[in-house]
Amino acid sequence: MSGETIGDEATTGTVRITGHQGDEIPAYLAHPPGHGPSAGVVVIHHMPGYDEATKEITRTFAANGYTAIMPNLHWRDAPGASPDDAAAAARAAGGVPDERLVGDVDGAARYLRSLGSATGKVGVIGYCSGGRQAFLAACRLPLDAAVDCYGAFVMDAPPDGMPLKVGPVVGLAGDLSCPLLGLFGAEDGHPSPAETARLEQELARLGKTFEFHTFPGAGHAFFAVDRPSYRPQAAADGWQRIWEWFGRYLAA
């Protein structure tokens, strides 16, 4: 790893991981300060790509004591391209297939567990489209904690006329392998509070461990500090919930 020291003394760099079907893809890795054991977090970037904003989120996990990794989910669509060109190429190709996503998150989790500093505990978090993908990954892979930040189309099918290659994944909820934290905006339309309420009911029916929070005055993407959707109060509260959740379920 090519080291780079930032203000909080987390160490960051780009590594190669083995993803879906044995493909080698790059991933952004952030180590916490010090050399003690740490749990891992896989960060799933949103549709705009493997961007600076999500790298900052990855560094935030490291600054708070986790070894965090963000696989480049668009690499195969545009090797070596800038993240925005790669996001456009991935979109033109129809988006990230669910199977490939699961394989890449699995590869990222395996990489984290292989590190000498690993405790063995690994969580996953995703934002926007990554929220749905975090839910999907937590249903398909053995993980220790998951966070879905306003992922749409977990519960409901997309509206008619939307030629999506994604669909609801709630049917996999029986296989949810770990406790799930859901963070949503009360003013979001996708997912709407009514939709997340039905998802809560389904998880409760299945006896799953979960906790959902819907923040007033916030819509979609309230964590995104570089977008007008940013809502500082909801984001601050949300981060606190994340620290509590991962603190509880990723502790050694």
Q: Which stretch binds other proteins (CB under 8 A): 1-9, 55-63, 99-107, 155-163?
A: 155-163
- Catalytic entry in 51, 98, 104, 188: 188
Of the candidates 25, 69, 87, 173, which one interacts with other proteins according to CB under 8 A? Answer: 87
Residue 213 known to be catalytic = no
Residue 67 contacts other proteins per CB under 8 A: no
Give the nearest distance from C-beta 139 to other proteins in angstroms. 20
Residue 106 known to be catalytic = no
Residue 220 known to be catalytic = yes
Give the nearest distance from C-beta 26 to other proteins in angstroms. 15
Of the candidates 113, 165, 205, 248, which one interacts with other proteins according to CB under 8 A? Answer: 165
Among residues 137, 232, 214, the alpha carbon closest in space to that of 177 is found at 137
Among residues 170, 176, 189, the alpha carbon closest in space to that of 142 is found at 176
Q: How many CB atoms lie within 10 A of CB 240?
A: 11
> Which CB, 62 or 128, lies closer to other proteins?
128
Residue 190 contacts other proteins per CB under 8 A: yes
Q: Which stretch binds other proteins (CB under 8 A): 9-17, 46-54, 108-116, 176-184?
A: 46-54
Q: How many CB atoms lie within 10 A of CB 182?
A: 25
> Which CB, 24 or 226, lies closer to other proteins?
226
Q: Which residues contact 113 (CB under 8 A, 6 or more apart)?
A: 40, 120, 122
Which sequence positions are flagged as catalytic? 128, 188, 220
Question: Which residues of this chain interact with other proteins, rule CB under 8 A?
Answer: 46-49, 51, 77-78, 81-82, 84-89, 91-92, 95, 128-129, 150, 152, 158, 162-166, 188-191, 219-221, 227-229
